[in-house]
């Protein structure tokens, strides 16, 4: 008698999506009630998302910005979905070399793109981001297969520009229009929330529009190119104000004094670099880690769980900042780094069941959702607006260098195991928690000479 072995394809329970959606909705809808209740000071910190009246001009500015930011986030999401489809046809070595080419572009060109943005103005940097996506869309529509290397370089450079250009532009316009500084924190966590929502939406849009990825001129990159054109026209129509440009000589002196010679910025840069490196490592290794034992998994159904967890983490940021808790934001940021690091460390140390892996990865993404707006708030405290883009691109240089080496050693030369790479990302997060702790301790001390001697 033969024995029939049933193959079970693992997938998350439908209630997982319901739980994440309901938690995000409850976190946002209940925030005004709890932030307004109690002391009057707590009411002053209520989320501007629900605060009408005096903040109506700010809400108009915020909604106009988020429309553009959402278009840019969908562009990033569409290219990531189609990029994964293209890489699926490569061998591991080919994929590693192609990704390494993009990491090299982000390292050698992206590291200076923030400085370039500060000099020419963040508005033009946002246009550059759209032009890069438009260029990739045209290349893939005309000749998809020969353009994969150029596309990898262009998209990596576009991602580097995306990491700072819209934030820098928003902060500059926020100050230029005279809005209250405390309202910036609301925009920061909403940026993470909207970006995550657009990443999920772009995956659904890609699945809806393109059942067949070989359709002549209307390639999968055509929607991203169309969104790039719409974004450029929107920028010219709605954000056509005069952008202040910097003189290279004075900018170099300011950058050296306020970024290169400031110990606080070095600590903040390491914290930013570590979270960027861990996110890149996660998206490279999460699928091989989950299917490492040969079991079949619906990977596309896990993606919304991870991004939904990041959305939920971002909604917790205003709760800790708006007076609900007596602790400082830095104290929670330290905890978030530690929890994120331990989540990845457990995965790298010992392989778990798929359900446990998914839970650990969701915890990691919830921490990421809290960390990203917290770092943006710290940049506002320590970095001058005119140097913001340069500081962000400067802080990502170590992460891009580490990603480049990891792709070559782990993906091409096979000298690094996946568990070792994830362990390095986890240790970087734990070291970042130490950096934030030192930064918080320095802030409590009498103001010393922060610059290097």
Note the Cα 249 to chain centre separation in Å: 31
Distances in Å between the Cα of 244 and the Cα atoms of 115, 288, 401 are: 14, 47, 32
Yes or no: say if 205 and 74 are a contact pair by the CB < 8 Å rule: yes
Domain annotation covers residue 76: yes
Does the structure show a pLDDT above 50 at 145?
yes
Least confident interval from 191-205, 210-224, 432-446: 210-224
SS3 of residue 296 by DSSP: coil
Least confident interval from 16-25, 204-213, 346-355, 363-372: 204-213
Alpha-carbon gap, residue 308 to 302, rounded angstroms: 10
Alpha-carbon gap, residue 169 to 192, rounded angstroms: 16
Alpha-carbon gap, residue 411 to 405, rounded angstroms: 9
pLDDT of residue 30: 84
Least confident interval from 108-117, 286-295, 307-316: 286-295
**Beta-bridge partners for 10:** 297
- Percent of the chain at pLDDT exceeding 70: 79
| 54 CB-near residues (< 8 Å, 6+ apart) | none
Least confident interval from 150-164, 176-190, 297-311, 434-448: 434-448
**Beta-bridge partners for 433:** none
Summarised one tens digit per residue, pLDDT across range 71-81 is 999 998 887 76
pLDDT of residue 196: 93
Summarised one tens digit per residue, pLDDT across range 324-362 is 444 467 788 999 999 999 999 999 887 668 888 889 999
For 319, the token pair is 């709760």
Least confident interval from 151-155, 261-265, 325-329, 394-398: 325-329
| 259 CB-near residues (< 8 Å, 6+ apart) | 265, 383, 387, 390, 391, 394
Domain annotation covers residue 235: yes
Total-model pTM: 0.87
**Beta-bridge partners for 262:** 451
Of 248, 250, 277, 255, the closest CA to residue 394 belongs to 255
Alpha-carbon gap, residue 423 to 344, rounded angstroms: 7
Cα angle 336-404-423, degrees, rounded to a multiple of 5: 40
Does the structure show a pLDDT above 60 at 452?
no
Domain count, the chain: 1
Domain annotation covers residue 315: yes
Q: Where are the beta strands (DSSP E) in 322-448?
A: none
pLDDT of residue 284: 85
pLDDT of residue 153: 86
Domain annotation covers residue 41: no
Mean pLDDT on 183-198: 92
Task: State which residues form the domain around 75.
Answer: 14-22+63-444
For 57, the token pair is 């001009």
Summarised one tens digit per residue, pLDDT across range 91-138 is 667 777 888 888 888 888 888 888 888 888 888 999 999 999 999 888
Domain annotation covers residue 345: yes
Summarised one tens digit per residue, pLDDT across range 230-259 is 999 999 887 765 555 666 767 777 888 888
pLDDT of residue 212: 55
Q: Please, which pLDDT band fits residue 176 given cuts at 50, 70 and 90?
A: confident
**Beta-bridge partners for 297:** 10
> Could you please report the per-residue DSSP string of 123-181?
HHHHHHHHHHHHHHHHHHHH-TTTTHHHHHHHHHHHHHHHTTHHHHHHHHHHHHTT--G
Least confident interval from 16-20, 109-113, 276-280, 349-353: 349-353
DSSP 8-state class, residue 215: -
Domain annotation covers residue 300: yes
For 340, the token pair is 């994120």
Does the structure show a pLDDT above 50 at 46?
no
Q: Which residues of 294-328 are buried (b: 16+ CB within 10 A; e: fewer)?
A: eeebeeeebbbbbbbbbbbbbbbbbbbbbbbeeee
Yes or no: say if 106 and 395 are a contact pair by the CB < 8 Å rule: no
Does the structure show a pLDDT above 60 at 426?
yes
Does the structure show a pLDDT above 80 at 309?
yes
pLDDT of residue 37: 43
Map tokens 């991004």 to a residue: 307
Mean pLDDT on 213-218: 49
Q: Please, which pLDDT band fits residue 282 given cuts at 50, 70 and 90?
A: very high
Q: What is the mean pLDDT of the chain?
A: 81
- Percent of the chain at pLDDT exceeding 90: 33
Does the structure show a pLDDT above 90 at 374?
yes
Domain annotation covers residue 342: yes
Does the structure show a pLDDT above 60 at 36?
no
Q: Please, which pLDDT band fits residue 261 given cuts at 50, 70 and 90?
A: confident
Distances in Å between the Cα of 94 and the Cα atoms of 28, 90, 91 are: 44, 6, 5
Q: What's the CATH code of the domain at 381?
A: 1.20.1250.20
Yes or no: say if 391 and 383 are a contact pair by the CB < 8 Å rule: yes
pLDDT of residue 320: 81
Three-class secondary structure assignment of 277-291: HHHHHHHHHHHHHHC
Count of positions (residues) in the chain: 453
The more confidently predicted of residues 436 and 44 is 436
Phi, psi dihedral angles at 360 (to 5 degrees): -65, -40
Phi, psi dihedral angles at 327 (to 5 degrees): -80, 155
Alpha-carbon gap, residue 38 to 18, rounded angstroms: 31
Q: Where are the beta strands (DSSP E) in 63-202?
A: none
Yes or no: say if 398 and 271 are a contact pair by the CB < 8 Å rule: no
Alpha-carbon gap, residue 288 to 286, rounded angstroms: 6
Yes or no: say if 387 and 115 are a contact pair by the CB < 8 Å rule: no
Domain annotation covers residue 375: yes
């Amino acid at each position: 008698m033969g024995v029939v072995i049933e193959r079970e394809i693992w997938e998350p329970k439908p209630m997982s999506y319901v739980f994440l959606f309901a938690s995000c909705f409850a976190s946002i809808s209940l925030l005004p009630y709890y932030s307004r209740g109690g002391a009057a000071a707590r009411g002053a910190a209520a989320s501007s998302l629900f605060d009408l009246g005096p903040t109506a001009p700010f809400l108009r500015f915020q909604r106009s910005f988020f429309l553009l930011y959402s278009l840019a986030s969908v562009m990033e999401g569409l290219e990531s979905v189609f990029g994964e489809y293209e890489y699926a046809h490569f061998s591991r070595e080919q994929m590693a070399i192609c990704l390494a080419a993009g990491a090299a572009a982000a390292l050698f060109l992206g590291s200076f793109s923030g400085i370039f943005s500060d000099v020419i103005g963040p508005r033009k940097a946002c246009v550059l981001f759209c032009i890069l996506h438009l260029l990739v869309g045209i290349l893939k529509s005309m000749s998809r297969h020969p353009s994969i290397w150029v596309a990898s370089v262009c998209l990596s450079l576009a991602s580097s520009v995306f990491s700072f250009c819209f934030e820098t532009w928003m902060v500059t316009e926020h100050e230029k229009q005279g809005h209250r500084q405390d309202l910036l924190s609301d925009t920061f966590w909403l940026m993470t929330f909207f970006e995550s929502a657009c990443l999920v939406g772009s995956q659904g849009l890609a699945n809806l529009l393109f059942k067949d990825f070989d359709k002549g001129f209307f390639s999968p990159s055509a929607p991203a190119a169309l969104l790039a054109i719409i974004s450029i026209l929107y920028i010219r129509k709605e954000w056509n104000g005069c952008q202040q440009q910097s003189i290279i000589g004075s900018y170099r002196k300011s950058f050296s004094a306020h970024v290169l010679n400031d110990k606080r910025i070095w600590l903040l840069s390491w914290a930013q670099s570590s979270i960027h490196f861990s996110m890149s490592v996660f998206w490279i290794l999460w699928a091989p880690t989950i299917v490492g034992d040969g079991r079949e998994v619906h990977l596309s159904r896990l993606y919304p769980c991870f991004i939904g967890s990041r959305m939920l983490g971002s909604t917790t940021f205003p709760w800790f900042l708006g007076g609900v808790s007596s602790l400082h934001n830095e104290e929670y940021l330290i905890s978030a780094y530690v929890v994120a690091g331990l989540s990845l460390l457990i995965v790298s140390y010992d392989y778990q069941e798929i359900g446990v892996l998914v839970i650990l990865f969701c915890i990691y993404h919830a921490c990421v959702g809290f960390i990203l707006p917290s770092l943006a708030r710290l940049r506002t405290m320590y970095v001058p607006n005119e140097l913001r883009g340069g500081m962000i691109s400067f802080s990502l240089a170590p992460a891009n260098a580490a990603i480049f080496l990891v792709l070559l050693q782990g993906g091409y030369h096979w000298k690094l195991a996946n568990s070792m790479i994830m362990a390095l990302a986890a240790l970087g997060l734990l070291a970042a928690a130490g950096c934030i702790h030192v930064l918080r301790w320095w802030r409590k001390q009498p103001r010393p000479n922060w610059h290097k001697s």
